């Protein structure tokens, strides 16, 4: 899914503008790690028994702080890409600020130990 952004940018503009395209691309990779790990937390016990090496298992008891770090990286990279691309105040308010509010709510209300909550939090990630 993330690869579509640089492909679309290059197709439309014909320019590989590294300070925008690749910064935002790596931000979206951080975002993918966040939502995919939240989703994987639903099956963490099954993954352990089956020997699956998911990020939910890898991050263990530190899943929330590690995902918060990836979220901060995503928001920082998204903000920097906006600066490089000359975005307006609306971009920072809605895209960056709205995402920050969403993630704050998500992490404050997420019950990692409740598998169903991981699925619910994954579902609302589509709003980002």
- What pLDDT digit, counting tens, does each position of 85-108 carry? 899 999 999 999 999 999 999 999
| The pLDDT of residue 32 | 94
Asked if the structure places residue 6 within a domain, the reply is: no
Asked if the structure places residue 102 within a domain, the reply is: yes
Q: What is the domain-level CATH number for residue 89? A: 1.20.120
Asked if the structure places residue 95 within a domain, the reply is: yes
Give me the domain span that covers residue 123: 21-127
Asked if the structure places residue 9 within a domain, the reply is: no
Asked if the structure places residue 115 within a domain, the reply is: yes
Question: How far is C-alpha 37 from the chain's CA centre?
Answer: 10
Asked if the structure places residue 5 within a domain, the reply is: no
Number of independent structural domains in the chain:
1
Return the closest-CA partner of residue 120 out of 28, 35, 20: 35
Asked if the structure places residue 7 within a domain, the reply is: no
Distance in angstroms (rounded) separating the CA atoms of residues 120 and 42: 10
| The pLDDT of residue 36 | 93
Return the closest-CA partner of residue 70 out of 47, 48, 37, 95: 37
Asked if the structure places residue 47 within a domain, the reply is: yes
Low-confidence ranges of the chain (pLDDT < 70): 17-18
Distance in angstroms (rounded) separating the CA atoms of residues 11 and 109: 40
């Amino acid at each position: 899914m993330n690869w579509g952004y640089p492909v679309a940018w290059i197709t439309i503009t014909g320019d590989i503008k590294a300070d925008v395209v690749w910064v935002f691309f790596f931000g979206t990779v951080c975002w993918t790690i966040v939502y995919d790990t939240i989703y994987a937390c639903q099956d963490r016990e099954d993954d352990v028994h089956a020997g699956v090496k998911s990020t939910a298992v890898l991050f263990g008891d530190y899943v929330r702080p590690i995902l918060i770090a990836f979220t901060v990286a995503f928001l920082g990279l998204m903000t920097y890409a906006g600066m490089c691309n000359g975005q307006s105040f609306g971009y920072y308010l809605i895209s960056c600020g709205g995402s920050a509010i969403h993630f704050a709510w998500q992490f404050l209300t997420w019950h990692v130990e409740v598998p169903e909550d991981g699925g619910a939090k994954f579902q609302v990630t589509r709003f980002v």
